[in-house]
Amino acid sequence: MPRFTHPISWQLTNTDENRPGPTRITMRAEIPVEVEDQSGTWRELVVVIDTGASFSMMRTSLATSLGLAIPVTTSTMPLRTATGLVRDVVRDGEIHLRFLPFPERTFLLKCIFRDTLPTDIPPVLGLHNTLDLLTILFDGTRRPDGFMGCMEFITRDQ
């Protein structure tokens, strides 16, 4: 089974920008991928691997700017977010995605396009139908290519 690793990104942050205070390490499981637009062109995008998210999702306006097919039909659904339960207008669609180390291997993922998702929220790969296609392991062991550890992506045989 093809596999690759990608470092977990991190940065040092100060809890209060106005005065010195404790420094925190902020980690994010993000990875560059490519998504296929409606013309067949692959466009690079950074997504966050969110093991707490049921669905893959992105802002409708971002998907539009990338030239992705956006469903016209909308529905309202309850979504549990980090800030609590919200009801939001969504569009149920799909994204055709590939990881940069394996451009020959593509994945068709269900994706929820959210009309009102704030612009500072990155696209997310959630659990639904992602786990059917690949395994993602998190290893916090410090390594030369990953100070805070790495994610290992293992693709299923086709």
pLDDT digit string (tens) for 4-32? 899 998 877 776 677 766 777 788 899 99
Average pLDDT, the chain: 88
Pair 99, 31: CB distance under 8 Å:
yes
Q: Is the pLDDT of residue 35 over 90?
A: yes
CA gap 43, 57 in Å, rounded? 17
CATH 2.40.70.10 fits 3-155, yes or no: yes
Every domain of the chain and the residues it spans = 3-155
SS3 content of the chain, % helix, strand, coil (to 5): 5, 55, 45
Q: Is the pLDDT of residue 158 over 70?
A: no
Q: Which long-range contacts (CB under 8 A, 24 or more apart) does 105-110 make?
A: 105/2, 105/155, 105/158, 106/36, 107/133, 107/134, 109/56, 109/133, 110/55, 110/56
Q: What is the largest CA-CA distance in the chain?
A: 54
Q: What is the mean pLDDT of residues 44-67?
A: 93
Q: Given this model, what pLDDT does residue 144 score?
A: 87
Q: Given this model, what pLDDT does residue 118 score?
A: 86
Q: Given this model, what pLDDT does residue 81 score?
A: 76
More confident residue, 155 or 58: 58
pTM (2 decimals)?
A: 0.83
More confident residue, 104 or 17: 104
